[in-house]
């Protein structure tokens, strides 16, 4: 590779710095090896740099060094996160940062509110102890769609979701119904924590909670931190589906959302799950047949 970089300068007037950057090696590495063959260590480093580039591209620029390190280790590489981070810096690879979500909660009218049963104690020792619900917008060329979601805190698995043209109680109920079905139809005692949006204070949703034995919990109005776990998840959804993808039609958006959630549950590494995807984390802990 060093000879190739040198040849680019001699034959095509490509500066060493440009060729090094394109090939994913540092200039110090080039000057060290330009007069001889690669050492075994240098050859491994070059191969590793190429694999880091491939994985970064495969994940569309959304994986940072921890997740790429996990991918590499699973593929058989013995490598540290610091080494991967250094290689990414050398190549100018930086995971795209999500932007902070704007508050979109519409407080329900009337005096009824559920108590806060979570109080920012987000942890859960096992599945079906704490669920979180929230909603967001998905713009398309034909107008907005709305996404309602339900997540299990323990595994960070997205259990239920519903996509519709109206941000209302029916949409929230659709996401809840899917979540309950995924868990086998019975989840008595599980806490479902949401904001105080009107879709969660509506009678339709409250009656469903009561019928299923779900304990309804709500954070304070206007406080994203009270529902930070799923707020963060929706921030990722918004970034990857709104800023990377562009949906021309509502049908394309519905299909894209479903495919993205399927990939997230089964393939997306999560730091809270020891860099395992949510479904794999559940299966490893015998969470039940519903994890398949």
Cβ proximity of 200 and 133 under 8 Å = yes
Cβ proximity of 240 and 251 under 8 Å = no
For residue 113, the model assigns a pLDDT of 83
CA distance 94 to 68: 12
Q: Which CATH class is domain 130-291?
A: alpha beta
Region class of 141: left (phi > 0), else alpha (psi between -120 and 50), else beta:
alpha
Give helix 169-182 / helix 203-212 axis angle, nearest 10°.
20
CA distance 147 to 161: 7
CA distance 193 to 263: 24
CA distance 280 to 4: 43
For residue 81, the model assigns a pLDDT of 86
For residue 289, the model assigns a pLDDT of 47
pLDDT over 70 percentage in the chain: 84
For residue 39, the model assigns a pLDDT of 66
For residue 231, the model assigns a pLDDT of 80
CA distance 113 to 118: 14
Tokens in use for 48?
Answer: 């590793």
Residues 76-107 as b/e (b if ≥16 CB within 10 A, e otherwise) read ebebebebbbebbebbebebeebeebeeebee
Task: Show the CA angle centred on residue 88, arms to residues 87 and 89, nearest 5°.
Answer: 90
Write down the domain spans for the chain.
2-90, 130-291
pLDDT (tens digit, 0 to 9) for every residue of the chain, 292 residues total? Answer: 667 777 766 677 778 788 888 877 777 767 766 665 556 777 788 888 888 888 888 877 778 888 888 888 888 888 898 888 888 888 888 776 655 545 455 554 556 788 888 888 877 888 999 999 999 999 899 999 999 999 999 999 999 999 999 999 999 999 999 999 999 988 989 999 998 888 888 988 889 988 989 999 987 765 556 677 788 888 888 777 766 678 899 999 999 999 999 999 999 888 888 889 999 999 998 764 455 4
CA distance 108 to 277: 35
Element (H, E) at 19: helix 16-23
pTM, two decimals, is 0.67
For residue 243, the model assigns a pLDDT of 67
Q: Are strands 143-152 and 158-164 parallel, antiparallel or unpaired?
A: antiparallel
């Amino acid at each position: 590779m060093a000879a190739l970089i040198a040849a680019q300068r001699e034959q095509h007037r490509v500066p060493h710095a440009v060729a090094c950057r394109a090939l994913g090696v540092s200039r110090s590495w080039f000057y060290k090896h330009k007069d001889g063959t690669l050492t075994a260590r240098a050859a491994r480093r070059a191969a590793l740099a190429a694999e880091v580039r491939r994985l970064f591209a495969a994940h569309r620029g959304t994986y940072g060094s921890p997740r790429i390190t996990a991918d590499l280790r699973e593929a058989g590489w013995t490598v540290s996160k610091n080494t991967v981070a250094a290689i990414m810096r050398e190549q100018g690879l930086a995971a795209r940062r999500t932007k902070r979500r704007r508050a979109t909660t519409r407080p329900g009218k009337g005096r009824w509110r559920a108590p806060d049963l979570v109080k920012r104690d987000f942890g859960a020792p096992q599945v079906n102890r704490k669920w979180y619900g929230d909603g967001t917008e998905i713009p398309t060329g034909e107008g907005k769609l709305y996404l309602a979601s339900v997540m299990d805190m323990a595994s960070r698995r997205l259990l239920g979701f519903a996509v519709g043209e109206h941000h209302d109680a029916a949409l929230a109920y659709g996401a809840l119904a899917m979540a309950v079905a995924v868990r086998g139809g019975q989840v008595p005692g599980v806490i479902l924590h949401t904001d105080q949006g009107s879709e969660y204070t509506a009678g339709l949703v409250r009656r469903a909670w009561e019928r299923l034995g779900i304990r309804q919990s709500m954070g304070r109005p206007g406080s994203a931190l009270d529902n930070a776990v799923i707020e963060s998840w929706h921030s990722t959804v918004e970034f990857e589906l709104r800023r990377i993808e562009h949906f021309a039609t509502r049908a394309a958006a519905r299909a894209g959302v479903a495919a993205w959630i399927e990939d997230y549950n089964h393939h997306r590494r999560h730091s809270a799950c020891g860099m395992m995807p949510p479904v794999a984390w559940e299966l490893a802990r015998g969470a039940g047949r519903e994890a398949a």
